Amino acid sequence: MFRQADSLLGFSLSSVMFEGTADDLKQTKVTQPAVFLHSVVAQQLMTIETPNMVAGHSLGEFSALVACGALRFEDALLLVSARAQAMQAACEANPGTMAAVLGMPDEQVDELCKAQSGVVVAANFNCPGQVVISGEIEAVEAACVVMKENGARRALRLPVGGAFHSPLMQPATEALQEAILRTEFRKPFCPIYQNVTAKAETEPEIIRENLLKQLTAPVRWTQSVQNIIADGATQFYEYGPGDVLKGLIRKIDSSVETF
């Protein structure tokens, strides 16, 4: 799969992943394909049993689509590569930033963002009490002040290169639309809970539409995990470089097992 990725992308992603520096890994063309490749390889090598349902956080939705059979590995890798470059171009065209807001209910963060001037939206609902906001730099900074004035425990800028999951990513959606529309989406063998709806989806055309909307819509991770648990899940397996989702899931519902 590493050799296949090198061939498809036209450069040695595997060399960067195994032998490159931290700065090499931060290159636009490298970061997202590298995380995707790591996650898919780990999932295929280490899966103990076939999943009953899948989900992925932002970029992770692409590896989740491979895990449930909705996308072929090769097609997903090429989409991830196109997505990374489209997002970078959007960041350069529309500079923006993101900030983490801690200790405030989701609905209040959402309402305060809507009341601000400029572009600032709730972008990631990660777990109760942890929401990431995204938008124009001045609007995000002003929103951070308002959040703290209204009771947030913390509201701090994140070291990111753009306003992901906000309207500022619209150019990336337009750039990615053609690639997504010409990619074959198959019926998954189990439901995928997508970021945009947080609901179980199995219809290829709906999955395709939601994936396109994902760049400008919020990641509804809290709601996704709650819906997955409501639909019967008791064990969660995280595949990828790190265990951030494992921690978030525990904060959403400590009664489930995470691995």
- The catalytic site residues sit at 58, 165
- Cα(84)–Cα(147) distance, integer angstroms: 31
- Cα(42)–Cα(17) distance, integer angstroms: 14
- Cα(145)–Cα(229) distance, integer angstroms: 35
Q: How would you label 30-41 residue by residue, b for 16+ Cβ within 10 Å and e otherwise?
A: bbbbbbbbbbbb
The structure tokens 């072929």 sit at 72
